[in-house]
Amino acid sequence: MHFRYLGQSGLKISEITYGNWLTHGSQVENEQAMSCVHAALDAGISTFDTADVYANTKAETVLGEALKGERRESLEIFTKVFGPTGPKGHNDTGLSRKHIMESAHASLRRLQTDYIDLYQAHRYDYETPLEETMQAFADLVRQGKVLYLGVSEWTADQLHEGHALAKDLGVQLISNQPQYSMLWRVIEGEVVPTSIELGISQVVWSPIAQGVLTGKYVPGEQPPAGSRATDDKGGADMIARWLRDDVLERVQRLKPLAADVGVSMAALAVAWVLQNDNVATAIIGASRPEQVSDNAAAAGVEIPAEVMSRIDEVLDPAVERDPARTEHASPKTREA
């Protein structure tokens, strides 16, 4: 495993992060989830990402159980706050001081830890003053319950505002967690340049585009049994946008390029996002332990420039680059 600094901080994290969105507590049974976490540890992964909203808090509970007994100082545990949890009442969502404080303490209990290494605003809250949000985060840092602060899917302007407030409060905003892959490059135009300016790293999710970039989805054929595309608990909805024959046909043309690099299609996709110097780590998910090992093989892989250019040529018509898509990631109202 290779390690990188997160933002302008002294915190090192593994290039590959194990995440449990859409798996633990929902798609994958607990025993299998435990096996995936242990496979991650065996692969040298030290960084784990979750969120209270995943499976309505169950994902955090499963991760806490899976990591119990491991040396806490050797791990970096990330979680997030924003989405509706519990009975989804009027204060069970957003980035108000009330929801942040209650959510942080609940996450600590579920994760069975005294502190969270990176606490992230899962989306931008248009209904709460940003000053209130950042003050609550800063208080958690001063209490020792959170070490560093991050956000997820914030625009360049929102990163500027949040970073400035964090600096005024004497705390560190060091990361952004956006979607990023060969097919989804919306952060490259504005978010990445701003992040470089501010000393913020990207902690990217969906580097294999929900599994599409593994090549297992073949144009004109039914999705493989047990795959993300057949998951009726949310996975199928998330992957649907990529299951067009024109996209799948282009992805199939990446197979010889992966062979040239000497890695699997999945590892090629993960290694591709890691070629971006502003990316500190790529979050991988898994429903089987062998998937963890396959994806983790991307750590330290250098893709030759000519292969990077060829990937662009193959995928270009199917790539989404519009920076405005980031703004659409956060609901304008909490009820949305």
Residues forming the active site: 54
The DSSP code sequence of 108-175 is HHHHT-S-EEEEEESS--TTS-HHHHHHHHHHHHHTTSEEEEEESS--HHHHHHHHHHHHHHT--EEE
Give CA–CA dist 256/10, Å, rounded: 39
Give CA–CA dist 129/70, Å, rounded: 38
Give the chain's largest Cα–Cα span. 55
What does residue 280 show for φ and ψ, rounded to 5 degrees? -85, -35
Residue 304 Cα distances to 91, 215, 260, 291, 307, angstroms: 50, 21, 10, 24, 5
Give CA–CA dist 323/330, Å, rounded: 14
Paired with 47 in beta bridges are: 17, 76
Q: Are 116 and 77 in contact (CB under 8 A)?
A: yes
In this structure, what token pair is assigned to residue 26? 């929902």
Burial letters 250-289, b for 16+ CB under 10 A, else e: bbeebeebbeebebbbbbbbbbbbbebebbbbbbbbbbeb
Looking up tokens 């990445």 gives: 192
